[in-house]
Structure 1
């Protein structure tokens, strides 16, 4: 998990992606890599997500790839088989966490209150997804949790260029999950140059004074 944390902290932003067509996996991966963001959290909310992960892993072995919206043990198995580096879940399900631990794959489960943080810590986790970030109190809640618990967070949900710096300024935040630079509509329409420009803008922003 230490290596994963270092990778997340280096990247600062993890694109959270819902992909509808498996044939978009390679141009998507190429667009991310060429614009300086060699990472992706592919959510399992679409039928082709696992196949897309498998293709991206084969074509871009250097990418950091996670499976998001993982809800079942079967999805964990499928994601591992496809070659993911880590698992992300929207909530904290002890059964899913335990299964991932037993399988030897890193999991970042979602939490948004002190009780869930303590349950996660009790299972040995120290890196958690803060979700849905903005709806759960945003930076204020994160700062309150940070003052009490020795854990790292990856806030996701409502994060954008507008508030990215504020989230990243919280010492416990490793990286933020975001969808703004990878809109599904642009992928569906094959507008890879437009999507690349959004990714490039995010990377450029991160390289500024707040990085």
Structure 2
């Protein structure tokens, strides 16, 4: 089973990256994001509530493409897919982790921060990657430099990306979308301020897609 590309049309320029402390927040959060125009969310596997949050969104908000972030082991990949994750994102990669993500049957974004890591993934046929930590690893200028020698690679930069810097990343030909924590800030989640989340999502959606017209696809499934 070959997964479809994750960074594909229809365009969603910003992929919200969230840390869910209480699984009960997951459904209203996802609904607020969708109402604001963002139809995907990356739930990081950083809390005990993460898998239950993924499970709830997958079951109750079908319009939202829910994925798992901070996938750092084969077991985490398997657990996330079993919970309903429709894509996987890792901060980095190893041979074993890449094998597990390839075997999962869902789209995935292994993390890279150097040209050598990008080249190693390209050798294995992987063309879509997470650039992390984007701000600390060189930002938009670094990705722009990679576009010349490695034009076949496409990225979702995450880490230190803001509503302001997102525009710079999205202007690059090798960027499919950006990952953003600012869309669902912890304070808004703690307060249950879903109107705030919806407003931030609407502002993020208005940033528009990247030049190539590609971004996270709300229809990504397995072939």
The 2-side partners of 1:169 and 1:194 are apart by 26
Does residue 145 of structure 2 align to residue 144 of structure 1? yes
Partner residue, 1:105? 106
1:190 corresponds to which of 184, 192, 205? 192
After superposition, the Cα gap between the structure-2 partners of 1:63 and 1:26, relative to the gap in structure 1 and judged at 3 Å, is same
- Tell me how far 1:203 sits from its aligned partner: 2.0
The 2-side partners of 1:205 and 1:108 are apart by 22
Partner residue, 2:165? 163
- Tell me how far 1:93 sits from its aligned partner: 1.7
Kept in 1: contact 2:113–2:131 (CA 8 A): yes
The 2-side partners of 1:3 and 1:75 are apart by 21
Partner residue, 2:155? 153
The 2-side partners of 1:26 and 1:118 are apart by 38
Higher alpha-carbon deviation: 102-111 or 41-50 = 102-111
Aligned length: 208
Question: Which has the bigger relative contact order, CA under 8 A and spacing at least 6?
Answer: 2
- Tell me how far 1:3 sits from its aligned partner: 4.5
List aligned pairs for 1:68-147, cutoff 5 A: 68-147=69-148
The 1-side partners of 2:16 and 2:46 are apart by 15
Kept in 1: contact 2:4–2:107 (CA 8 A): no
Q: TM-score, normalised by structure 2?
A: 0.88
Partner residue, 2:217? none
Higher helix share: 1
Structure 1: tracts of 5 or more residues without a match: none
- Tell me how far 1:5 sits from its aligned partner: 2.1
The 2-side partners of 1:180 and 1:206 are apart by 17
Kept in 2: contact 1:92–1:120 (CA 8 A): no
Kept in 2: contact 1:154–1:175 (CA 8 A): yes
The 2-side partners of 1:134 and 1:103 are apart by 29
Kept in 1: contact 2:44–2:69 (CA 8 A): yes
The 2-side partners of 1:103 and 1:162 are apart by 35
